[in-house]
A = this chain, B = another copy of it.
Amino acid sequence: MSSEDQPFVEFRVDPERYRHWRVGFDGPVATVTMDVDEAGGLVPGYELKLNSYDLGVDIELYDITQRLRFEHPEVKAVVMTSGKDKIFCAGANIRMLAASPHGWKVNFCKFTNETRNGIEDATANSGQVWIAALNGTASGGGYELALACEHIMLVDDRSSSVSLPELPLLGVLPGTGGLTRVVDKRHVRRDLADYFSTRPEGLSGKKAAAWRLIDETVPRPAWEQTVAERARQAAAASHRSQGRSQGHGAGISLTPLAKDRSEGQISYRYVEARLDRARAAAEITVKGPDDNPPEDANGIHEQGPDFWTLAMTRELDDLILDLRTNEPELGTWVLRTTGHADAVLAYDQLLLTNKDDWLAAEITLYVKRTLKRLDVTSRSLIALIEPGSCFAGSLLELALAADRSYQLAGVFEDEDPDADPAAITVGPMNLGPLPMGNGLTRLQTRFLGDDDALAAAEKSSNEPQLAADAQQKGLVTFAPDDIDWADEVRIAIEERASFSPDALSGLEANYRFAGPETLETKIFGRLSAWQNWIFNRPNASGPDGALRKFGTGQRADFDRRRV
């Protein structure tokens, strides 16, 4: 696979078409079985042996995590296990990695990380507790997948183990969460972690448990029963579907997402993107709701996948994934909204008023995850706030996630002199329910170290801010008037396209994550950045690098100088 003939990747999938996973249901327990089709690689040229995965396998897993949350409110524990004998999962497919261009590897790892963070989010915030039932060896990315689960059980059969063989065998890192989760989540002692990560055969049994690499080791005869027992316990302890959700027990169906894609445009019902290849930009517009929201939680359930917030978020999620993977040359995303701020705020309020309803809660959590996806997207984000837009509450987060925002002071005199001038509105959704990966709201990150400005911004809640006020409060970057608007915006976009794409990715990855670091930001910042560097080094990816030499019987020829 060269970058020139990179395949077009479709992220929409439905269970009927799964090639690599099975999902079974037994009351509050779902069992997700990984059973990768060797011949089902996304790209020709490799076989997915030993339950190894590529992006296509991960796309199905992401779909599973989403459907479990929306279609199965009754599920409170998720057992992840393998359909193969003796092997849970061998991690990312090495031949795929070796043949992939740098950008593909990095993008693949990012998506993989996001799905794993989503598994942790389901465990922590949706009461769907994921259990890794390792009925065979989990190595590399296979063990990393287990690390995303709340509880790790390993069968004790004298052959199954957990391992991170990336460093000794491939000359790269366990870079999709592995290194970070081993020490920061599971609290494996750092020197033991060092030893473990240099040992291709890994560890098993009581030693693996004593070192905290797994939670328990279970003899083969007691396996099925113990797994079932742990799932029952997790389900019993889960907080899912408590509170006011009783009347809304049934899941909603994530119906197929309607999408129209041409050379120059991607359109959904509420989201569209114009692909401006000449300017290396995607012009994204998110439409607000057509109507007022339903009156109560019943209405959310009745509308299901058509409920505006959910429908819009699914579309935006798919668009982000599509553009990231299929349009790497569109380096700038211009973010616009159209619609009525009041309607957006009313939808937000309905979700927050019913936050004890499982579906309302799931929708808000999904908005949160989708915005986080935007935060770690390696594209310049520029928000344009114009008359007729609805940057309010949840949609204001798009502007707060942007690297810069421009709000028109006044109106476009030639276009519509009688329009209401562009406004933005802070709402309750900006004050807590949609935190970034660093644990802060986007407003808190924005006003880091400036508590007065933060308080003033928060205090402006529900009051539309025209450009001058919004700029004075620090909520937008620039507030040009009609005379300057076109030039300022044009220059900003053209200038972005003239800069080094790599330096922009680095700059944005640093400025977007001001403030504290968490497991999640450490994975995307520290760990991924090191892995990106290593992926780019001849010692890994050169013709004599370890990734290329793996499986050839030849040893990699390393440049021994430490950097």
Contact = CB atoms under 8 A, between A and B. Distances in A.
B504 A167 contact: yes
A405 B189 CA distance: 12
Given A180-B510, A501-B539, A503-B540, 9 more contacts: A191-B404, A194-B507, A378-B563, A500-B558, A501-B561, A509-B526, A510-B526, A525-B529, A526-B526
Interface of A: 3, 102-103, 106-107, 166-168, 170-173, 175, 179-180, 182-184, 187, 189-195, 197-198, 280, 328-331, 378-379, 402-405, 445-450, 474, 477, 495-497, 499-517, 522, 525-527, 529-534, 536-537, 539-540, 546, 556, 558-563
Contacts of A331: 560, 562
A516 B497 CA distance: 36
A195 B191 CA distance: 42
A311 B378 CA distance: 48
B503 A195 contact: no
B503 A166 contact: yes
Contacts of A500: 167, 171-172, 534, 539-540, 546, 556, 558
A448 B166 contact: no
Contacts of A504: 167, 562
Contact of A172 (B198, B450, B503, B511): B503
Contacts of A532: 529, 533, 563
A274 to B, nearest CB: 18
Contacts of A446: 189-191
Contact of A499 (B198, B449, B517): B198
A510 B191 contact: no
B502 A537 contact: yes
A363 to B, nearest CB: 28
A403 B194 contact: yes
B563 A503 contact: no
Given A103-B563, A173-B506, A505-B562, A526 B513 contact: yes
A449 to B, nearest CB: 3
Nearest to A533: B533
Contact of A501 (B183, B198, B506, B559): B559
Contacts of A546: 500, 503
Contacts of A496: 198
A533 B529 contact: yes
A471 to B, nearest CB: 11
Contacts of A403: 190-191, 194
B539 A536 contact: no
A176 to B, nearest CB: 13
Contacts of A193: 511
A31 to B, nearest CB: 30
B563 A173 contact: no
26 contacts: A168-B499, A171-B503, A173-B503, A179-B511, A183-B510, A187-B448, A187-B449, A187-B450, A190-B403, A191-B446, A192-B477, A328-B563, A331-B562, A378-B563, A500-B540, A500-B556, A502-B563, A503-B546, A506-B533, A509-B526, A510-B526, A513-B526, A517-B517, A525-B525, A525-B529, A532-B563
A449 B193 CA distance: 14
Contacts of A180: 510
Nearest to A171: B500
A184 B506 contact: no
A320 B562 CA distance: 14
B506 A530 contact: yes
A528 to B, nearest CB: 8
